[in-house]
Structure 1
Amino acid sequence: MMPAGGLVHSPVDEEKRRGVRRMKALATGLLVAVAVVYGLARWAQSQGAGAWAGYVAGAAEAGMVGALADWFAVTALFKRPMGLPIPHTAIIPTKKDQLGRSLGDFVGENFLSGEVIRERLRSVGIASRLGGWLAHPANADRVTAELATALRGALTVLRDSDVQAVVSEAITRRADAQEIAPGLGAMLQKVVADGGHRRVVDLVCVRAHDWLVEHGDSVMTAVTGGAPGWTPRFVDRKVGERVYKELLRFVSEMRDMPEHPARGAVDRFLGDFARDLQSDTDTRERVERLKSEVLGRGEVQDLIASAWGSVRAMVVAAAEDERSELRLRVRAGLLSLGARVAADERLRAKVDTWLEDAAVHVVTAYRDEITALITETIKGWDAEHTSRKIEAHIGRDLQFIRINGTVVGALAGLAIYTVSRLLGA
């Protein structure tokens, strides 16, 4: 149930209010009982009963006074006794906003201070507990499953078009902002120095030899087709065959001889190109123009954008599969982390310090907002409903105050009457 002001009254509140009403009836019944005893004692005293009647009347009279005083005090917290405009009554309804500010200040000063947060977290020993908890496989499985669910949810909420646009823009902007030629040159220089390009050269030589073997007629046709028209055809064919054989021999030797001069020429060319990429202004400018042209092509932009779809599908599939490499690695990492934290005191101290610093930062940065939330929330509550809700939660104990006041008042009255009689005697 949501009354005005946003204050929730639950079935639990209704049950507590019924308990308050029962205690009110008990406290009021005790007051009535004391009043009846007082009346009977006074009547007995007027009828010439023994001295006991005076003692009973004195105790009952003081009990009534105590009961009425505590009734007034308890009632004045929530409303005006008997509807009378008595000052300093109906304290909660009339002072609700001030109480809210005071409560916010109290929470801020005593619960949201950096010293309190650090002391409390240090006494709890979160790192030790967290490490021991994560070290259990069942708990690591649970955390892994929760992380997988959260990851799937996040990927489901994100719109592919938005993410693709962000990824494409980020890649393009970063590529435009950074010159790539020096980096490519340094990488190529290292590859050449380490001989990493030789396998590529080997592959090219093998593929070129196989292609020449398979397409010999095409090569000879291309050679003879470029010959002058006045040369005899058999001469053209002989020239074509000679060219083809020399070309095949050259490729075969280059394939089979690691120290072939042509390979050395390739090494020198790649080395010179690597240096030009790093130091030659003209070469670097050409590479930058080529980069801009490539990035500006629609096919490249589509490829960059579509990469997100592939990554998303791969991650979602891995998150859903309990035996996927992703989930297995996350689970193993959690177990390892838990075991390390549980066993390494220095690591526990670091984790505790990180948590304390993070908590203190959050509390310090948002303390005013938290206390303002308390103040503004209470300010928005309806005064009558606030009073009723508070009474539902603490009213039962307050009715015990009325009962105690009746009993204590009666005992005090009995003691006072007894002392008076003794002194009077």
Structure 2
Amino acid sequence: MALLARIGLDRFNPAQGGTRGMRIVATGLLVAMAATYVLARSQEARGMPAWGYVRAFAEAAMVGGLADWFAVTALFRHPLGLPIPHTAIIPRNKDRIGGALATFLRDNFLIPSVVARRLRRADVAAAAGRFLAQPPSGEGRLREGASKLAASILESLDDQRLGGMVKGAVAARLKALDIAPLLGQSLRAAIAEDRHVPLLDGIILWAARTLEANEAMIRDMVHKRAGAIMRWTGLDERLANAIVDGLNKLLAEMAEDPTHPLRAKAEEGLATLALDLQHDPAMQAKVAAFKAEIIANPAVAAWIDGLWRQAREALLNAARDPHAAMAGRLGETLRQLGETLQQDERLRRTINQFARRATVGAVAAYGDSIVRLVSDTIRGWDAGTVTDRLEAAVGRDLQYIRINGTVVGGLVGVAIHAANAWLPALR
């Protein structure tokens, strides 16, 4: 690179010109050496000895440049399209290259003991905590890329199959849930904390409104069941009024008096129900049968289907717009999780241990599959694909080899010419 700096080629930016630009520079330098050789040869024939050094430089530079051009080109293709032996090395040996790369991965990266040793020094939990608590400046592109990948995966999955799996899992979970003891414990806790009182008040209020709405029906029932004498004397109407007034008075007293005997009976019944739900097999069987009937109802299946569709749409929206998702409660939760991971050493140790075990287990179980995947993928590429990808990766550096070969060859040519010119004089 020092040679390139002296002739000004270090100012060439490979990122701007790429492989093609470097190839043009290397070829242009070779053409310039050819033109310089012709000029120097003509001037040297006129009796100008200094041009001999220029001619020697250009001549040797052409030799060096052509030799390195041949060597670089022979890696990827046949020079000038001629099937010269031991050229187009990479296309002819792509299968062997793939096998060697796969073997390198297996021997240096995919051995469980090696992975465990390297992960022992890695603090995965702390790194994750720092990333979540204070995302780096490049996190935006990473988040967008991960979000696009997640959205693409979610959209590519078969909605019917995936939805069926999710809904089946939800339904299976509901069927396996023993709901009677949970209801009993919840009811018992509500009674102990007087949280059942609003429920009783609501039932009493509902009963009062129902009685008021159906007062005419009660009077009609009494009138139809009364005998002819009672209807003739008007006793049926008095009896209906007494029933309605008595029920209204009873409900009003229950609503106003928290210690009403009927309220106490209702509370006693709720306490007994809570106990039966927790310990009575017959009651638990009734609740289980009722639960099974509800789950088998098509309306519940439609409800579960709606839950899945809402969840899927929410996941897609979050994936498509990660900034909005991370700005809300999810983002705040993740930031709190990151801070916890940084502060809680015990949690970090547990997560790191889990990460090591999971990674080592994955390597042990799938290491050979990963190696075969790499090898088979490279074997499946056509020769042109392998050549283009490798040349794109290292092509610019290879063109620097051509440039260096041209310059170094020229300097060697000058040195040899100088030696030929000065050695006879020294003798």
TM over 0.5: yes
SS of match in other structure, 1:259: coil
Match of residue 182 from structure 1: 181
SS of match in other structure, 2:416: helix
User: Over aligned residue pairs, what C-alpha RMSD do you find?
Assistant: 5.8
- Identical amino acids, percent of aligned pairs: 27
| Structure 2: gaps of 5 or more residues | 1-16
Give aligned pairs, total.
Answer: 401
Letter in 2 for 1:271: A
Match of residue 397 from structure 1: 400
Whether contact under 8 Å (2:181, 2:277) holds in the other structure is yes
SS of match in other structure, 2:182: helix
SS of match in other structure, 1:206: helix
1:194-273 equivalences under 5 Å are 194-213=193-212, 215-228=214-227, 231=230, 233-273=233-273
User: Separation in 2 of the partners of 1:315 and 1:79?
Assistant: 49
The 1:247/1:80 distance shift into structure 2, 3 A limit, reads closer
Deviates more, 1:292-301 or 1:343-352: 343-352
Match of residue 275 from structure 1: 275
User: Separation in 2 of the partners of 1:419 and 1:379?
Assistant: 58
The 1:355/1:294 distance shift into structure 2, 3 A limit, reads closer
Distance apart, 1:257 and its partner CA? 0.9
Whether contact under 8 Å (2:40, 2:51) holds in the other structure is no
Distance apart, 1:200 and its partner CA? 1.2
Task: Deviation per CA, 1:203-253: give whole Å up to 9, x if none.
Answer: 221232344345444323323433456656533333333333322222221
The 1:78/1:214 distance shift into structure 2, 3 A limit, reads closer
**For 1:407, which of 382, 407, 410 is the aligned residue?**
410
| Structure 1: gaps of 5 or more residues | 1-10
Task: Deviation per CA, 1:39-72: give whole Å up to 9, x if none.
Answer: 969x98xxxx99x999999999988987786676
Match of residue 285 from structure 1: 285
The 1:81/1:94 distance shift into structure 2, 3 A limit, reads same
The 1:103/1:117 distance shift into structure 2, 3 A limit, reads farther
User: Separation in 2 of the partners of 1:57 and 1:315?
Assistant: 72
User: Does residue 98 of structure 1 match 2:68?
Assistant: no
Task: Deviation per CA, 1:244-292: give whole Å up to 9, x if none.
Answer: 3322222221111101111111111111112112222222222222222
The TM-score with structure 2 as length reference comes to 0.65
The 1:200/1:349 distance shift into structure 2, 3 A limit, reads closer
User: Separation in 2 of the partners of 1:377 and 1:149?
Assistant: 24
Deviates more, 1:209-218 or 1:369-378: 369-378
Whether contact under 8 Å (2:341, 2:348) holds in the other structure is no
SS of match in other structure, 2:234: helix
Whether contact under 8 Å (1:167, 1:304) holds in the other structure is no
1:12-411 equivalences under 5 Å are 13-26=19-32, 36=41, 77=75, 91-103=89-101, 105=103, 114=115, 128=130, 131-133=133-135, 165-213=164-212, 215-228=214-227, 231=230, 233-309=233-309, 328-330=328-330, 332-333=332-333, 340=339, 364=363, 375-376=375-376, 378-380=378-380, 383=383, 390=391, 392-411=395-414
Match of residue 4 from structure 2: none
Letter in 2 for 1:25: V
Whether contact under 8 Å (1:128, 1:348) holds in the other structure is no
Deviates more, 1:148-157 or 1:166-175: 148-157
Distance apart, 1:33 and its partner CA? 5.9
User: Separation in 1 of the partners of 2:108 and 2:400?
Assistant: 25
Deviates more, 1:19-28 or 1:278-287: 19-28
The 1:255/1:118 distance shift into structure 2, 3 A limit, reads same
SS of match in other structure, 1:253: helix
Whether contact under 8 Å (2:178, 2:288) holds in the other structure is yes
Deviates more, 1:102-111 or 1:145-154: 145-154
Whether contact under 8 Å (2:54, 2:414) holds in the other structure is no
